[in-house]
Structure 1
Amino acid sequence: MHFLLLGSTGRTGHHVLSTLLSQNHTAVALVRDPSSPKISPHPNLTIVVGSPLSKSDITKALSAAPSLTPSAAIITLNTVRASDSPFAAQISPPRFMADSVANACEVLGAAGIHRTVVMSTAGVGDSWGNLPWASKAFMTWTNVKYALEDHGIVDGEMRGRGRMEWTLVRAVRLRFDHDKEDGKGKKKTGEVETLGSKGGGMRMSDSVGVEGVARFLVKVAVEGLFVREAVVVRD
Structure 2
Amino acid sequence: MRILLLGANGRTGTAVISEALQRGHTISALVRRPETLATYANNVSITTGSSLSKEDVTKAFASAPKSDPIKAVVSTLNNGRTSDNPWAKPTAPANLMADSVRNCVTVMKEYGVKKIVALGTVGVGSSKATRPWWFNWIIAHSNLKIAFDDHYAVQQALEAESSKDPALMWVDVRAVGLGNGEKKDVKEFGNEGQGAGWMISRKSVAAFMLDAVENSRWDGQTPVISN
Deviates more, 1:149-158 or 1:63-72: 63-72
Partner letter of residue 202 of structure 2?
V
- How many residue pairs match? The answer is 222
**Shift in Å, 1:152:** 0.9
**Shift in Å, 1:138:** 2.2
SS of 1:5's equivalent in the other structure is strand
Q: TM-score, normalised by structure 1?
A: 0.90
Q: Which residue of 2 aligns with 1:73?
A: 73
Q: Which residue of 2 aligns with 1:211?
A: 203
Matched, 1:111 2:105: no
Residue from 176, 184, 197 that aligns with 2:191: 197
Deviates more, 1:91-100 or 1:113-122: 91-100
Q: Which runs of 5+ in 1 are unaligned?
A: 179-188
**Shift in Å, 1:37:** 5.1
The answer to whether the Cα contact below 8 Å between 1:9 and 1:38 also exists between their aligned partners in 2 is: no
Q: Which residue of 2 aligns with 1:161?
A: 161
Q: Which residue of 2 aligns with 1:64?
A: 63
Deviations 1:165-224 (A, max 9, x none): 10010001111233xxxxxxxxxx611101111112235xx2111110111101110123
- Give me the whole-angstrom Cα distance separating, in 1, the residues matched to 2:98 and 2:112: 21
Deviations 1:129-188 (A, max 9, x none): 11122321221222111100111111100100122210010001111233xxxxxxxxxx
User: Cα RMSD between the aligned structures?
Assistant: 1.4
SS of 1:230's equivalent in the other structure is coil
- Give me the whole-angstrom Cα distance separating, in 2, the residues matched to 1:218 and 1:174: 17
Taking a change above 3 Å as real, the CA distance of residues 39 and 158 of structure 1, as seen in their structure-2 partners, is farther
Q: Which residue of 2 aligns with 1:185?
A: none
- Show the 5 A alignment for 1:134-173: 134-162=134-162, 163=165, 164-173=168-177
SS of 1:80's equivalent in the other structure is coil
Matched, 1:8 2:8: yes
The answer to whether the Cα contact below 8 Å between 1:55 and 1:107 also exists between their aligned partners in 2 is: yes
The answer to whether the Cα contact below 8 Å between 2:196 and 2:225 also exists between their aligned partners in 1 is: no
The answer to whether the Cα contact below 8 Å between 1:132 and 1:202 also exists between their aligned partners in 2 is: no
The answer to whether the Cα contact below 8 Å between 1:7 and 1:77 also exists between their aligned partners in 2 is: yes
- Give me the whole-angstrom Cα distance separating, in 2, the residues matched to 1:61 and 1:39: 20
- Give me the whole-angstrom Cα distance separating, in 2, the residues matched to 1:56 and 1:39: 26
SS of 2:161's equivalent in the other structure is coil
Deviations 1:14-51 (A, max 9, x none): 100111111111111001111115752134x2111010
Which aligned segments of 4 or more residues in structure 1 are displaced greater than 6 angstroms?
none
